[in-house]
Amino acid sequence: MRKIKSKKLTYVLKRVFSAIINDNMADLAATLAYYFLLSLFPLLIFCVALLPYLSIEAEAAIPLVKDLVPKMAADSIDQTVRGIVENRRVDVLSFSFLATLWIASNAMGAIIRTLNVAYQVEETRSYLRVRMLATGLTVAFVLVLAVMLVLPVFGQVIFGFVQKVFPLPAKAWVVFSLLRWLTAFLLANMVLIGIYQIAPNVTLPLRKVAVGALTATIGWQLISLAFSSYLSNFSHYSATYGSLGGVIVLMIWFYLTGLILVIGGVINAAIHRYQQEEKR
């Protein structure tokens, strides 16, 4: 059994490295980064403009952004969020919703094409079906992101209520913060499972995409932390590039995010191919 697992792991690792080098997966990650950047601000405008209609202060989104995005990039996004908060209008909400759907569905379409390359299958579904699939996945992603933006607020409300009924020690907030982070982690993992299972033109059971989704979720968290640490301690982007430093950092972070998404898809594709070959 151990020998079989070792053989499977070796096969998957070889396939991942081969895909990155020979299948231009690194280039596809750059394509994803481009679409992510185009999608970011319409998506941000829509989510932040929506929060006040749910009786939630839009500033609540800022702590989450600072938790997820490298500091220099978060500062640029912070300015955008505050600008939206000061100029909230219904027409902006409507326009940003349409812009978000169109632009972000292009990003999701790029993910679909990337996963098809990973599985080495051609796209046989119609353009309309693929577009509707990309739009549906985008809507699901926006809803999950909105929940993640709301979580910090509701976490504080719930903690305050529990604190009044059952006085808790100060350290209890650490547990609540951990639960909030765990919930966000699970939501991100669920989104990736959905994308990896539905997006490629291959019929896949849930168990065949779980490994890649978990790897991508953990890898994305680790890369974000490592990149933020590097920027804080060793980098001089702001001194070198001035106001463009935040944009450059954001693009690099998006590229790393795209690369992790690609690697997660390639891992699933490698496992799928290994199991197909074992059946022969």
The alpha carbon of residue 189 and the mean position of all alpha carbons in its chain are separated, in whole angstroms, by: 9
pLDDT tens, position by position, 18-70: 877 777 788 888 888 888 887 777 766 666 666 666 555 555 555 555 555 65
Q: What is the pTM of this model?
A: 0.77
Alpha-carbon gap, residue 188 to 113, rounded angstroms: 21
Q: How confident is the model at residue 205 (pLDDT cuts 50, 70, 90)?
A: confident
Quote the domain boundaries for residue 227.
Answer: 1-278
The alpha carbon of residue 105 and the mean position of all alpha carbons in its chain are separated, in whole angstroms, by: 14
Phi, psi of 69 (to 5 degrees): -105, 145
In 10 A of CB 211, how many CB atoms? 16
Number of folded domains that form the chain = 1
Alpha-carbon dihedral sign for residues 63, 64, 67, 68: negative
Q: Select the highest-mean-pLDDT range: 72-86, 229-243, 258-272.
A: 258-272
pLDDT tens, position by position, 61-96: 555 555 556 565 566 666 666 665 565 554 555 566
Alpha-carbon dihedral sign for residues 177, 247, 114, 200: positive
pLDDT tens, position by position, 212-233: 999 999 998 888 777 767 666 6
HSE, CB side, 13 Å, CA atoms: give it for residue 171.
Answer: 0
